[in-house]
Structure 1
């Protein structure tokens, strides 16, 4: 699909949005809107085979996510959003690259509740930050299994005690690409891994 290719080209050199100028962002948002108009899955929450799984972030306007790149001595590595439909959970996992053997990880787990065929309410529940080696991090799937086990981590691992809740609209979904829009105006483009 030409519109999908246009979007992929537009975001290719932006390092998930970190290097995007205002002009780049305007062009990317325009390409996103064109692709959303041609969404092949108008009811994404009714398409579990497409939605379930691990998604790697390609681009975002989220200052909260992009701000992770400001950690001293670290740079932002891959960011994943992992959706587990049966459990109604979302796991955001950001890898931090730094000094050898001191690579970091930041993760937030959330519960979601479907509100419509495209929108979910998201309630953040758990925050984990630590060194990948001490967390025995290998990949998102393995890490999620460890998170859900009773094991304790050598990391900052805390429950989020807040009523903070957001929502996410899934505005485009196919076999390899997902676009979402959040309640604070952020846009997310992700590819299935």
Structure 2
């Protein structure tokens, strides 16, 4: 029987999926499916206390995220999804490491709405992308506090509200320190709570 430890060992060293071979991907997806069958939280959208927090991405099949590592002279750093259930907000933050002094972030703020016991719809509202030092980015929480206070950043800082960009996410596994989700574009996400 494959458990959380087996999944974590399988994705270790795979750089969130960038270094996973086809056999690795097959084994990882099989391990994810087996873990999802034993989801300890049958109604994850109602488990605000478990959902809340800053989650770090361990593995994904999302090419949109993995392609952030393909920029010249840049390397994908940590990726976070910060969930604030009380405010019905999600903040996705990708750190991009470049030449000294050229580290950047790409962040998307979104509002989510539970539509079933495991599915949420997500409406993307704002994108912020730029050099971390110009934005003042050091860690997710102070950055989110600045966003929530209405601060504008010296970066690409655009409102997406009129673009109707949205999607959905099924939360297929949730416990106190691991979350697995499947998105509307067929992507899988494995995250651990910071």
TM-score, length of structure 2 as denominator length: 0.97
Between structures 1 and 2, the one with greater helix share? 2
User: Match of 2:6, SS?
Assistant: helix
Cα deviation per residue 1:51-89 (whole Å; 9 max; x = unaligned)? 101000000000000011112211000000000111111
Contact 2:2 2:35 (8 Å CA) reproduced: no
4+ aligned runs moved over 6 Å, structure 1: none
Residues 67-82 of structure 1 aligned to structure 2 (within 5 Å):
67-82=67-82
Superposed CA offset, 1:100-159 (max 9, x none): 111000001111111011000011110100111111111101111111123221100001
Map 1:3-152; keep pairs closer than 5 Å.
Answer: 3-152=3-152
Matched with 1:184 is 185
Describe the superposition over 1:20-62 as per-residue Cα deviations: whole angstroms up to 9, x where unpaired: 1111110000000010011111111121111101000000000
Give the conservation status (yes or no) of the 8 Å contact 2:2–2:34.
no
Q: How well do the aligned residues superpose, as a CA RMSD in angstroms?
A: 1.1
Question: What is the number of equivalent residue pairs in this alignment?
Answer: 193
Structure 2: unaligned runs, 5 residues or longer: none
Hey, what's the Cα distance between the residues in 1 that align with 2:117 and 2:143? 29
Residues in 2 aligned to 1:150 and 1:107: alpha-carbon distance in whole angstroms? 15
TM-score calculated relative to the size of structure 1:
0.97
